[in-house]
Structure 1
Amino acid sequence: MKSRVYDTVDRQLVHALQLDGRAPFSRIGEALGVSDQTVARHYARMRGEGALRVLGLTSPAALGETQWIIRVQCTPDAAASVAEALARRDDTSWVSLSSGGTEINCMTRAESGQNGNSLLLQRLPRTPSVVAVTAYCVLHIYFGGALSLVNKTDTLTPEQAALLLPDPPPPMVTEAVAVELDEADHRMLALLERDGRTGLAELADASGRSQSSVRRRMNELQAKGVLYFDVNFGRRIFGLDNAVLLWLSVSPGQLAETGRAIAEHPEVAFVCATTGPSNLHAVVICPDIPSLYTYLTTRIAALDAVRQLETTPVLRRVKAAASLPQPAAVRGG
């Protein structure tokens, strides 16, 4: 079967939605120099294929929650089923299979004061097929959340990006803010998590608010950094086929400097400081194995503070940022 070919408009549309997930197609078309019908057609095709989805997500930092990275070692015959079970949980994200299909990596979030996700950390070790579980507390995120690998590309010109950026731009939140979510908020956010472009009428029906109230509340939550919009996209749209997890041990005195340096690398989709045997974790995505080798032997090799490095190839993405598993069409993409 011939693989799908993506064009410039496809890539520009992904970038545009990363800048403003709810931008009208007319504004995107104006920035891209195409009609709104063309934008709508490209969006509908990629979304129908499972290669593109806008997500309305909440910031754990803004809500005072703690994020944990969990590494699960499984027997080869059960890793896939355990990964699928983790992907079905509402509190997990970025579930992937790696290391020959015997290791699962996922991120979970827990309310402040909890020692990680007690359900995960208590149940997983008692699962017969689970050999070992290691939990890393995320201490600080240098790149991730509302910022994506797409933001580092030159898919859009600076002039095009300026037409699409929200005004004012959403803040980068690193600590809790005084926001109390009520039941109406939770119903609205649940719909946005499944589809960040859900219409105001549907959001109003779900939350019991008027459309104008829904618009004001979304703007308020965005302004406080609680709500942000992300794009889940098939990496092959940008010719990116190889994802690797890096676990780095860095001199504590140079941790922040090294984290910020890695965050600037165009190959890095996520980087954070963690607890555990390694204190810096990154997700690196490259077009192919030679480019990954070049990255490790140039950019990473140039960081004097890195004392030890472990690389874990990602064999399959089971779940991306949303609380629902990715469509089968983009698994591994």
Structure 2
Amino acid sequence: MSRSAMDDVDLGLVQALRVDGRAQFRTIAEVLEVSENTVARRYRRLRAEAGLRVIGSLDSTRLGRVQWTIRLSCTPDAAGAVAKALAAREDTHYVHLLSAGTEVSCTVSTGGVDEQALLLHKLPRTSRIVAMSAHLLLSTFRVPDTGPEPTVLTDEQIAVLRPDPIDIDVAAPPLHDGDRAMLRALNRDGRAPYAELAAATGWSESTVRRRLELLRRTGILRIGLDIPAAALGFGVEARLWMRVEPGAAVAVGSALAAHREISFAALTTGATNLVAAVVCRDTVDLSRYLTERLPELSGIIALETAPVIRTVKRAGTPQL
């Protein structure tokens, strides 16, 4: 399904689910001024034809965990197998094949900085991995998403859909086995009904509802929309690694986060201290972004670009 095949109802539904992936179809229908049956039918079609998925994911930083971005250079015959092995792990997300299929990048969550050595030992062991680097994510300017979103809804419509804000002053509650079971179910389907979540956890539906709302309010649980950028007309994705003057890194990262083309931006350790993901309509747009928009940002010393050849895993289960 292509961007040209979507009408304003489809695009409005996509944008509504970006605002709140668990918004009731009745509420979305009222905002879009269509029937609830129409919203449900369009949702099923976008899932089947455009690859749209709503995903519940854990924000491990709220639980004191840290994240690393990993780069692996492989021989051409090994990169695909390495990417699949990484995608199968529960502690990885955003696994990409890059640079003509000879490089793999991913994000890994660990319990702390001191677990880096353990992390590296757990990576796939093969002589066909010729180089590897790990960069600690220090702060995030824009959390990962699928890039530019439709702009069909008005501010007033968005306000109706917007969930309660995250309350960072509320301490993150400890996770129980039931929470983990619920998170696994939501990772498969972020819109899983309460009855299904109750069956997965062994809790009552009312307990599931209260616990889900608490995890969302404290920022532990994120309900996000996952849809291939190509389905929205953005056919070219790339990872950017930038070496930026230390005193300018925060300003550059904040500016990147405001760029429509940027779907992720973070400050990292390492020789390149900013990592970002860019989503463009085609190679012409990517060229224009790299040569016209980025040079406007003062403080960038060096830039490395790696096109995304294939996404093996996003925030949820592997795209195998």
| TM > 0.5 | yes
Between the aligned residues of both structures, percent identity stands at 43
In structure 2, the residue matched to 1:234 is 228
Write 1 or 2 for the structure with the bigger share of helix: 2
Distance 1:279 1:231 in 2: 28
Offset of residue 47 of structure 1: 1.4
Q: Which ranges in structure 1 are unaligned for 5 or more consecutive residues?
A: 329-333
Match of 1:162 among 150, 156, 159: 159
In structure 2, the residue matched to 1:277 is 271
Q: Residue deviations 1:210-256, cap 9 Å, x none?
A: 11111111111111111110111021232100001110111111111
In structure 2, the residue matched to 1:75 is 75
Distance 2:306 2:134 in 1: 16
Residue 229 of structure 1 aligns to which amino acid in structure 2? Answer: I
Offset of residue 124 of structure 1: 3.8
In structure 1, the residue matched to 2:66 is 66
Match of 2:181 among 177, 182, 187: 187
Residue 211 of structure 2 aligns to which amino acid in structure 1? Answer: R
- CA 1:98–1:123 in structure 2 vs 1: closer, same or farther (change >3 Å)? same
In structure 2, the residue matched to 1:331 is none
In structure 2, the residue matched to 1:101 is 101
- CA 1:4–1:45 in structure 2 vs 1: closer, same or farther (change >3 Å)? farther
Match of 2:314 among 289, 313, 320: 320
In structure 2, the residue matched to 1:144 is 143
Distance 1:48 1:170 in 2: 31
In structure 2, the residue matched to 1:122 is 121
Alignment of 1:1-333 (within 5 A): 5-49=5-49, 51-116=51-116, 118-119=118-119, 121-124=120-123, 126-144=125-143, 149-150=147-148, 153-166=150-163, 168-171=164-167, 177-322=171-316, 324-326=317-319
Residue 118 of structure 2 aligns to which amino acid in structure 1? Answer: S
Q: Residue deviations 1:179-205, cap 9 Å, x none?
A: 200111111111111111111111112
Residue 140 of structure 1 aligns to which amino acid in structure 2? Answer: S
SS at the partner of 1:237?
helix
Any conservation in 2 of the 1:177–1:224 contact (CA below 8 Å)?
A: yes
How many residue pairs match? The answer is: 320
- CA 1:129–1:225 in structure 2 vs 1: closer, same or farther (change >3 Å)? same
Hey, which bits of structure 1, 4+ residues long, moved more than 6 A? 1-4
Offset of residue 299 of structure 1: 1.8
Q: Which stretch of the first structure deviates more once superposed, 154-163 or 258-267? A: 154-163
Residue 296 of structure 2 aligns to which amino acid in structure 1? Answer: A
Q: Residue deviations 1:163-194, cap 9 Å, x none?
A: 2111x2235x6x99442001111111111111
TM-score by length of 2: 0.94
Any conservation in 2 of the 1:170–1:228 contact (CA below 8 Å)?
A: no
SS at the partner of 2:156?
helix
Residue 76 of structure 1 aligns to which amino acid in structure 2? Answer: P
Offset of residue 266 of structure 1: 0.4
Any conservation in 2 of the 1:204–1:211 contact (CA below 8 Å)?
A: yes
- CA 1:2–1:298 in structure 2 vs 1: closer, same or farther (change >3 Å)? closer
Distance 2:156 2:201 in 1: 37
Residue 29 of structure 1 aligns to which amino acid in structure 2? Answer: A
Distance 1:176 1:306 in 2: 37
Offset of residue 114 of structure 1: 3.6
